[in-house]
Chain A
């Protein structure tokens, strides 16, 4: 009796789910696999909003294919493989998406690409998965990302420091895929170029004091501390406690440390020896387009991964348009619309792109977060600059090679 009740409830739930909205012939669905719940929940809403903005641009400027609408299906990948594979399976099989943007976390990308999207032949573009492991996926050319692997930035930063005459540093990294990924590639490149690491240690986030870790690092005798952490989180504590105790003279951070909150909290006057590396968009006109539209939508333009989320969705739409909605041609089309040569397309210029594609002309999308010239593994090289603190913000002082 009870069993039957349960079966009936489950059946009803399934049944209700099956009564999905009917799709029109030319409508195309795009899966957005944001990490809405879970450890990076705070980052997810602006990322989803940025991807949706791209979808809005497509639909406002003539729609996709022959008068169809691009529809975004939002799923919660929760930053873990269990939920990510589940949400990818639903997107691919129930909503019949032909491309997905996301998931946000690298582990979720690896699992859902391996078990769902690659076997199903669905294009995946992640806006925030930075693990070097994603490069190694056997992906049938179906997995891409719109931000560089952690490898690029760590290596570029190591070369820049060497070029600036710094050859002995201590490294403190946050023990997650971001911090550790950067630290490992930095270490490899720095040591290969003859640099010395006087200290190298990871730390867990959210502790009240890091003085003992910092004291150990300082004992190595380096003047420079390289911090791979977030400037709005633990990185701020590390920097503050190093300054208070005079452990180091110079501090270098990666993009996560480039926070204006940090400058406000510590004060520019105390940050003369603080430098950060951060990605810079070459096509700044594209970034302006995006910022204007994103601000008009009532969102914060400084949100992390917002530009890459927009670009991922916009690129997916361009690839679908170029491929004429044919799933099998998506990867090839994505490479065609993203790579030079071709007429440059900036963020938000859907109508122009659609017209050029219809005329059979080659286009090259210059995104808000970078040019997105994919290499053979579907990765993008980074454009990084070296910044110093200036006023309440940051000022670029050199390009990084």
Chain B
């Protein structure tokens, strides 16, 4: 399988190729993330692959082997203006921590609850996920249950603080979604948390 990496020479040569050959009708272009970093995509056709890791670089989706080319901001706006305009507000995550060996939230976390309510009220069709997490101490099955206990506790606290919303889900990721990566059976306070996502 051919693996085409975008290099400087390719970037200079390809716009000419694209203008002379027939331009692709289906393509993907990479954008920078909101934090300024840029991710990576791997585009596969029937016969080959291309990797794109630079913002503004596109790859064809209707060629057996994807071809890369650069796209101007103007063309991006022309092609994708409406799709970009429809982008919803990014989900916001509030992370709440518990007092050690206690079912109570820390004072700092307790103080975040009004912000959660305000954020939910400011969004159209808002939904909230309340996700309990544990560290890797103990059994994975027990941690799944413990994460659920923590999530339910936070839901009850939010409802007591005045949250009125139909679209609330309460779930546990147990030890499957660590904030601080650790080996198994490792106590880690930052992993013992509940994430409240407002979308």
Q: Do A and B bind each other?
A: no
